[in-house]
A and B are shown apart, each in its own frame.
Chain A
Amino acid sequence: MSVTPVATASEQRRMALHVRRLLLAMIYHAGSGYPGGALSATDILVHLYSQCLATTAEAMAEPDRPRFVLSKGHACAALYAVAALKGLLPLDALTSFRKINGTLQGHPHVKTTPFVEASTGSLGQGFSVAVGMAVGYRHHHYRNPIFAMLGDGELQEGQVWEAAMLAGHYQLDRLCVFIDYNKLQRGDLNQNIIGLEPLLEKWRAFGWQALNVDGHDFEQLEMGVNLFMRTAGVPTVLVAHTIKGKGVRYMEGVAKWHGSVCLSSSNLRQALLDLNTDEAEIPAFLDGSVFAGEAG
């Protein structure tokens, strides 16, 4: 298995900071997007693409490559930004996000964006697709892992539990799922919409190995993935506790930044300040005046 050279936790932290700047700039540039869930998912995506997934053209062409499905497709701004920093996309492609004739659709799509493994956006379906990939890998006798990330609100979809039941029944031990558990969905806290707890117990009852991790702690993410890689006979779910809007103080823990929102230039400026952005780190496709507070 050929994957990206392993990055240290501090390298991943540095990269995640820049992914957050990029994804906010993309959403600002697009005029709409889903910042809250992209910011909560960023560290998990950085970790997967730094430690677990293929990122060279050669490795991406292998039929048995490790694969990843972003089932919470609305968080794709983070996925695209990570891909650009890993060389899977040209950086200037980020300007096409959510734009007509663009390569980066508002939700991931395999036909327009080559590194994307599944067209997602309709919640619950990407998870089933990932389970199908894991069944297919077993059929082919491939040993590489299939990863997926689900949102917490997504767990309210019945299809998720159909797929979980099947994966447990088939003992798909090359399947590892992250729950981006930021506790908020579009309208409110999960617990005020339809509560999810006790979450670990639910997954275990479906035949999964389930454990909590801090979704913003790279050491914990690595420990979780390592445990998954060593486990035989059951699929693994890592319930990653995260903060919606992570890294931007005015967004953290506030449901309204789930989106789809339009960021103003002052929204973006404040966010970039929170992310310790200096002039040199402003994404090239943005007018520098945004940071100076002059753009509209």
Chain B
Amino acid sequence: MDLSPPPSRDRPGESLKEAFGRALVRLGKTYPNFVVLDSDVAGVSGTHHFRRAFGDRFYQCGIAEQNMVSLAAGMSAVGLPVLVSTYAVYCLRSLEQVRQSVAYPHRNVKIVASHSGLDVGPDGASTQCVEDLAAFRAIPGMVVLSPADPHEVAQATEAILKYPGPVYMRTGQSSARSIMPPDQAFTIGRATVLRDGRDATLVACGTMVAKALDAAESLVDQGLDVRVVNMATIKPIDQTCLLTCARETGCFITAEDHNVFAGLGGAVAEVLAQHMPCPLEMIGVDDTFGESGEPEELAEKYGLTEAAIVAAVLRAVARKRR
């Protein structure tokens, strides 16, 4: 019996947090200096793989995220690159520590969030962080990433270890199917055009990229040729790519598992409004808290589906033609 999961859209691959944890083990050998801090979530954030492989580089900080983040800044100050891992919502709890202890002195600390958005599922609104991209994007000098598939998470993990400054990166809890071309290189600040098209540009991040691809595929039947961009770096956003897409397609749809305010959609809107105004529709959580439920049920109820994206594309294209 073959138990290996084939990379088809019916059989999703591993979760982004699992991909992150496995990448850490591989990178731990290549980069012998960095350490990992945990607030007792290792088993569910992916870092347990690193703990098993590099126990002397793994520091347990207990359930105290604020101390953990400032502690990371202190370890970084004495020459250790530090990777901190916890749920997105607890990253939010230590937002001011990230601001003051990490970002202001530009410490080499990476904050990696394992559970974010409605994708968290049954734990409900208390854990479903839909504010992190907005909050961390607002901190001066902070890099903010939300990779889309296991391969890209692994590449992004290496990229942030090479980058000598503060980074916030989302992984994810649900299984995520493979969508990035295996030979695709990852560069912080550079978007990837996954599908070309002339009628509209769909910009997505994280787990919404797969849904954006599906939406673009289904729009072919309606005679629409939709470009799909994986915007894995929310900050600094790839302005060159956005402006090229604006010139060539004339309208945009953003899709993110995040509050519709001030996340990816907000970042795209800032660029377009200043440099090349054009119709923009935003798919995201409509300024509300989530609730318990399976991720697919929540996506359905809160409008984060392929169908919702399709409808938004049709609205954007109609506005462009007006």
Contacts and interface: CB of A to CB of B under 8 A. Distances in A.
Interface stretch (A131-139, A178-186, A258-266, A270-278): A131-139
Nearest to B97: A125
Contact of B100 (A121, A132, A133): A121
Given A128-B70, A163-B67, A140 B105 contact: no
Q: Chain B contact residues: over half helix, strand or loop, or mixed?
A: helix
Contact of A63 (B73, B79, B104): B79
A69 B61 CA distance: 20
B105 A135 contact: no
A139 B77 contact: no
B74 interface: yes
A132 B70 CA distance: 7
Nearest to B94: A159
B96 interface: yes
A79 to B, nearest CB: 16
Given A121-B100, A128-B67, A159-B70, A136 B75 contact: yes
Given A163-B67, A165-B64, A109 B77 contact: no
Contacts of B79: 63, 136, 140
A159 B70 CA distance: 9
Interface in A86-120: 109-111, 117-120
Given A119-B104, A121-B100, A122-B100, A129 B73 contact: yes
Contacts of B312: none
Contacts of B97: 122, 125, 128, 159
B71 A135 contact: yes
Contact of A132 (B73, B104, B106): B73
Interface in B13-71: 35, 59, 61-62, 64, 66-67, 69-71
Given A159-B66, A165-B64, A166-B67, A133 B74 contact: yes
A54 interface: no
Contact of B77 (A129, A142, A158): A129
Contacts of A169: 62
Given A119-B101, A125-B101, A129-B101, A136 B80 contact: yes
Nearest to A131: B71
Nearest to B72: A132
Contacts of B67: 128, 131, 159, 162-163, 166
A163 B78 contact: no
Contacts of A248: none
A140 B80 CA distance: 9
Contacts of A27: none
Interface of B: 35, 59, 61-62, 64, 66-67, 69-80, 96-97, 100-101, 104-106
Interface of A: 63, 67, 69, 109-111, 117-122, 124-137, 139-140, 142, 158-159, 162-163, 165-166, 169
12 contacts: A67-B78, A109-B105, A111-B104, A118-B77, A118-B105, A119-B105, A125-B100, A133-B78, A136-B79, A162-B64, A163-B67, A166-B62
Complex A-B, nearest 4 residue pairs according to Cβ-Cβ distance, in ascending order: A132-B74, A128-B70, A162-B67, A162-B64
